[in-house]
A and B are shown apart, each in its own frame.
Chain A
Amino acid sequence: MRNIVYIIQKEFIQIFRNRTMLPIIFILPLIQLLILVYAATLEMKHIDMIVMDKDLSSASRKLVSKFECSPFFFVNGSTFSIEEAENILKKDKADIILHIPADFEKKLYKENKSELQLLINAINATSAGLTNAYANYVIADFNKNVIAENINFFKPSFPKNININYSFWYNPELNYKIFMLPGILVILVTIIGMFLTALNIVREKEIGTIEQINVTPIVKYQFIIGKLVPFWIIAMFELAFGLILGKILFDIPMIGSLFLLFGFASVYLLVALGFGLLISTLANTQQQVMFIVFFFILTFILMSGIFTPVESMPVWAHYVNIINPVAYFMRVIRMVLLKGSGFADISKEFFSLLIYAFIILSLAVWRYRKTV
């Protein structure tokens, strides 16, 4: 047991003596939190619109002004030629073109129905979908006004409206930051933890000190634990640091128990770092480690549901996610922080990761060879 203490002591001395390491551990997360939380947002706050109003009637102007009043749409100009409109889209100067045909008002009042065309830049399908939804909402609102204004003239009785009331639970203001921040915290601790552990053993292989360790009577599991604990502590600290920053900078809600969150994180980190250690025992150079870890981290993160809900992924992706530790923590950190889920709600994830940790660390111990 005392052997482990000596390894941990040595690792900590080396980590804190390394001048490039400390900024990586403490300043990078701060910068990443600040940049990513603001940048990684799916809210559409600024949709550039070009209007092609061929009608120039009072109805068309009302519609355009409806868009102008919306906080999302910025009417940046108008044109009368479809070619020019297309050019503007091509140059990425606009996200959406509103085409109002020449007989828009006439049809609206005479035939009781009229047509509009929306041309949306759909390079990014998600934002195009949102743009479309927002635009339809504005048009529907306009439509309602038209009906209300003309009800006496055209329709003696108008259809009964179904009034939908909604309330958004757990994130009532639909604040995207509150959704993203826990996810970004997960990424931070995963990247720092997995990379540091994975690079560590392989670095000893490169400089040759591993051979000196392999010739000592140190027991394999002691070595792995000695390598695991320092980075586990650093990653836990990193999580706490990130949560404090989140509270100060973004006032992130912490509805559930922090004790539960850290308890879960402690098991999660065993898996993430165990992964790093396993890779480290398999690879021979730091370069190999970088590529392998990068591959896993990128796959794990994109499949974890940080940006897109896991539920909307294809069925095979659900199966892949069984071995994706990031997906477990991504779900649980949001459940605990935003919903206040208790242990009973996350026990399945907890025990799954516990088994996972046991398997991955056993593999790392087994793969670490003292005799080649």
Chain B
Amino acid sequence: MNKTPIIQVKNLVKKFGNFIANDNLTFDVYKGEIFGFLGANGAGKTTAIRILSGLSAPTSGKVKVAGYDVYRQTEQIKKNIGYMSQKFSLYEDLTIRENIRFYAGIYGLSRKVINERTDELLSKLNITNLGDKLISSLPLGWKQKLAFSIAIFHKPEIVFLDEPTGGVDPITRRQFWDMIYDAANESITIFVTTHYMDEAEYCDRVSIMVDGRIEALDSPEGLKNTYKAKNIDEVFLKLARTPIGEVGRG
């Protein structure tokens, strides 16, 4: 794996009033890797991902995404990234095809490319016959897979996934990770937050956030060795043992 950093974060701080959601984060994400962002609910994962994708401005610190500065060049960043939020983001009252066409359209893809890739995508997902179904009629697992497919439809350099597998059954989660690997093979950098510790094992590198700070950052193997643990779950419990007093981080 080449080690060119595609995301560079230095001393990132995000405050909401007196509350510090991201406390002095420093890390790099390398091109083409699957970077896991682990933490309990409210550890500050979503805040960080929103800053990296240009939805929220940092309080201080240096942040570069795909070579662009998050203070001044958010629009260039947005051209180069995909984003799938925790909150479900497709239009329930539009069909699968209409959702794809809309999002791909505002990313500036041509009608011809949109049609080609839509057919490609539908057959890859084995839902060629469902293209004209309303999103509201689909089960959650399908919606999540579609949301992910649409987030990378314009072939971004980086895709940010904020708890993409929340509320999804284990089989669908497994399939979802297969899709993530496919995307990584197309050299899309994956930045994924989760609180499922088993999912951390699928990542190339994992950072563990506790109370707004990054407590550990290494490959899953490295983490297990350092903390003498059988799995990431144990690593996490060791790190997070100090009780989390505050709630409402996000």
A residues near B (Cβ < 8 Å) are 2-3, 5-7, 9-10, 13-14, 17-18, 207-209, 211-219, 370-372
Is B19 part of the binding interface, using a Cβ–Cβ cutoff of 8 Å?
Answer: no
- A-binding residues in B (CB < 8 A): 53-57, 74-76, 78-79, 81, 83, 85, 87-94, 98, 101-103, 105-108
A217-B53 in contact given A2-B105, A212-B83 (Cβ < 8 Å): no
Q: Which residues of B contact A5 (CB under 8 A)?
A: 105
A370, B54: Cα distance in complex, Å: 8
Closest A residue by C-beta to B81: A215
Q: Are A14's CB and B106's CB within 8 A?
A: no
9 A-B residue contacts at CB 8 Å? A9-B105, A17-B94, A207-B92, A208-B88, A209-B89, A209-B90, A211-B89, A214-B55, A215-B83
Please, how many angstroms separate the alpha-carbon atoms of A2 and B91 in the complex? Answer: 20
Q: Considering the complex, give the chain A residue whose CB is closest to the CB of B91.
A: A209
Q: How far, in whole Å, are A218 and B105 apart by their CA atoms in the complex? A: 10
Please determine whether B78 and A10 come into contact, CB atoms closer than 8 angstroms: no
User: B79: which A residues are within 8 A, CB to CB?
Assistant: 217
The residues of A that contact B53 with a CB separation of less than 8 Å are 215
Give the distance in Å from the alpha carbon of A371 to the alpha carbon of B72 in the complex: 11
Which residue of chain B lies nearest to A204 when distances are taken between CB atoms in the complex? B91
Cβ of A17: which chain B residues have Cβ within 8 Å of it? Answer: 93-94
Known contacts: A215-B78, A371-B74. The answer to whether A3 contacts B108 by CB under 8 A is yes
A10 touches B81 (CB 8 A): no
Determine how close the nearest CB of chain B comes to the CB of A286; give it in whole angstroms: 16
Query: Which of chain B's residues have a CB closer than 8 A to the CB of A7?
Result: 102, 106
Partner of B103, one of A13, A208, A212, A214: A212
B199 to chain A, nearest CB (A): 23
Residue of A nearest to B98 (CB): A13
CA distance A9 to B100 in the complex (A): 13
Q: Which of A10, A208, A370, A372 contacts B89 (CB 8 A)?
A: A208
Distance, CA A213 to CA B151, complexed state (A): 11
Most B-side CB within 10 Å, residue of A3, A17, A215: A215
Residue contact B94 to A10, C-beta cutoff 8 Å:
yes
- Nearest residue in B to A18 (C-beta to C-beta)? B93
Q: Evaluate contact between B54 and A371: CB separation under 8 angstroms.
A: yes
16 A-B pairs besides A3-B108, A215-B83 with CB distance below 8 A are: A7-B106, A10-B94, A10-B102, A14-B94, A18-B93, A207-B92, A208-B87, A209-B91, A211-B85, A211-B87, A211-B89, A212-B89, A212-B103, A214-B55, A215-B81, A371-B54
